[in-house]
């Protein structure tokens, strides 16, 4: 039996290379050896205010991009979270078992809440419970995510353990899987902050659908230091981040990269990086065009994905309901 992989992406902002290098490319690579389920988590998106039309557009765009990067609907169940109602129901049940104290410790909540102040929704606070429901509904073994989601996956595991301690072996205990390279890609304009899709400046992130000239301009403007040497040195976050992107996108070894750019300037390196990114994204963009030009294709894939996900989710939820004594 193959191990089960589950992961998700919020249809907000853009799919930038941080999300791609930190998580999505691993979902593609894991399709051969794991039983893969990937979800566009629209219920998570509404924990902060969204424009309904834009949200609807993003859900489709993200699903199309996931197919374009290589998610294969024949090997991965790809679906939209709100199409499978069991996610909301299990989240509610988990709410009744997850202590407030665990939630209060979530660093992402603290960061997001600090930005929004009194506008913060209960849903934003409760976000990790819904994420735990996503994971636990599918008897997930492994959750490949970027570094920023590790704490949430650990909370899902703790919640499962707590529930199992009361009711017996109901949930499989999931583990986060964090890649060695690219698990935390930083902003190009500010390499001390994680690359993020939400309301950032024009030179912060590279989106998967950015054209070649936009990519070149963003990389040439990326913040570096006033030193010269092109080395993987974590104490120099700007050049370190760019080198990490180069490393992740080309697959070349660190030493080989340092040797290649020895004696060269930042501008030479940035030009080479820009071309590597342009080339890396070219095929994805071509495939995306093709996928979205086929009318009805995406809807069909997502409907089939939901139809495959639903019975798995229903089975787990039935087990949970019985254990708790509901209905």
Task: For the CB of residue 17, give the shortest distance to ligand TYM in the complex, in Å.
Answer: 8
To the nearest whole angstrom, how small is the minimum distance from the Cβ of residue 262 to ligand TYM?
A: 28
Q: 108 vs 250, which CB is nearer to ligand TYM? A: 108
Smaller CB separation from ligand TYM, 38 or 230: 38
* Complex with ligand TYM: residue 80 or 145, whichever CB lies closer: 145
Residue 268: CB minimum distance to ligand TYM, A: 25
Is the Cβ of residue 105 or residue 260 nearer to ligand TYM in the bound state? 105
CB of 2 to ligand TYM, least distance (A): 18
The CA–CA distances, whole Å, from 73 to 79, 81, 135, 279 equal 10, 16, 19, 25
Q: Give the binding site for ligand TYM (CB under 6 A).
A: 6-10, 18-19, 22-23, 41, 44, 131, 134-135, 143, 145-146, 148-149, 152, 183-185, 194-195
* Tokens 């590597």, residue located: 276
The residue (of 51 and 168) whose beta carbon lies closer to ligand TYM is 51
Closest distance to ligand TYM from the beta carbon of 153 (Å): 7
Task: Give the residue with the Cβ less far from ligand TYM, 10 or 36.
Answer: 10
The C-alpha angle with vertex 137 and arms to 180 and 28, in degrees rounded to 5, equals: 35
**Residues 222/238, Cβ–Cβ less than 8 Å:** yes
Chain residue at closest Cβ approach to ligand TYM: 22
CB of 259 to ligand TYM, least distance (A): 26
| Min dist. Cβ of residue 156 to ligand TYM (A) | 8
CA–CA separation, 118 vs 128, rounded Å?
20
Q: With respect to ligand TYM, which residue has the nearer C-beta, 206 or 239?
A: 206
């Amino acid at each position: 039996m193959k191990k089960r992989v589950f992961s998700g992406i919020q249809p907000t902002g853009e799919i930038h290379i941080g999300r791609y290098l930190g998580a999505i490319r691993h979902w593609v690579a894991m399709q051969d050896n794991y039983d893969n389920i990937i979800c566009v988590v629209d219920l998570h998106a509404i924990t902060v205010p969204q424009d309904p039309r834009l949200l609807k557009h993003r859900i489709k765009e993200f699903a199309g991009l996931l197919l374009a990067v290589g998610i294969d609907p024949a090997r991965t169940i790809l679906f939209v979270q709100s199409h499978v109602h069991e996610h909301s129901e299990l989240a509610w049940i988990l709410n009744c078992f997850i202590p407030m104290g665990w939630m209060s410790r979530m660093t992402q909540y603290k960061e997001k809440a600090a930005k929004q102040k009194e506008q913060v929704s209960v849903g934003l606070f409760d976000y990790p419970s819904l994420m735990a429901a996503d994971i636990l509904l599918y008897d997930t073994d492994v959750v490949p995510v970027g570094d920023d989601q590790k704490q949430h996956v650990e909370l899902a595991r703790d919640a499962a353990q707590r529930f199992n301690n009361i009711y017996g072996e109901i949930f499989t205990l999931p583990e986060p899987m964090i890649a060695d390279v690219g698990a935390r890609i930083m902003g190009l304009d500010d390499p001390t902050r994680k690359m993020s899709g939400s309301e950032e400046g024009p030179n912060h992130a590279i989106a998967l659908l950015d054209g070649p000239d936009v990519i070149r301009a963003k990389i040439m403007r990326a913040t570096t230091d006033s030193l010269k040497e092109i080395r993987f040195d974590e104490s120099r976050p700007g050049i370190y981040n760019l080198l990490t992107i180069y490393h992740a996108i080309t697959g070349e070894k660190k030493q080989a990269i340092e040797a290649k750019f020895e004696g060269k300037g930042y501008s030479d390196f940035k030009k080479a990086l820009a071309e590597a990114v342009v080339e890396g994204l070219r095929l994805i963009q071509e495939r995306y065009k093709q996928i979205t030009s086929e009318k009805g294709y995406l809807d069909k894939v997502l409907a089939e994905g939901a139809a495959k996900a639903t019975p798995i989710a229903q089975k787990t939820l039935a087990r949970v309901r019985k254990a708790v004594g509901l209905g």
